[in-house]
Amino acid sequence: MKAYDLIQQFGAGLRPTKPPTVYRSLDFLMAVGLVQKVVTLGAYMACPETPETGGAALLVCTCCHAVERLPVPGPAAVSNAPPDFLIERVLLEASGRCRRCR
């Protein structure tokens, strides 16, 4: 879901929420691991995250925009990082076509 979709969905009939408020809320939800940004689509998705998962790989369908979230091994996925760089989270996105759209 995109930020402006949230504004339309939750602001109907009320005083509309301003975009900066929505983006600040999304930033907070990302910080606590409840929302993940889908950079390819410029959208956000709910995702309960635990410290053990370390991140996720997203498979994004270029046709129907479906997103599948796959857990990844976290920092081990980036083996060439310098030893003095602490990796806290890994995010990978791959674009292609899902089974339905092929």
- Per-residue pLDDT for the chain (102 aa), expressed as one digit of tens each? 888 888 887 766 677 778 888 899 999 998 888 888 898 899 998 876 555 555 678 899 999 999 988 876 566 666 777 888 887 767 788 999 999 999
Answer whether residue 70 is part of any domain.
Answer: yes
CA distance 48 to 64: 23
Answer whether residue 57 is part of any domain.
Answer: yes
Answer whether residue 28 is part of any domain.
Answer: yes
The number of distinct structural domains making up the chain is 1
Answer whether residue 66 is part of any domain.
Answer: yes
Residue bearing tokens 């996720």: 56
Domain range for 74 is 3-96
Kind and range of the H or E element at 46?
strand 43-46
Non-local (6+) Cβ contacts of 34 within 8 A are 46, 47, 48, 49
Answer whether residue 102 is part of any domain.
Answer: no
Answer whether residue 72 is part of any domain.
Answer: yes
Full-model pTM = 0.71
Answer whether residue 62 is part of any domain.
Answer: yes
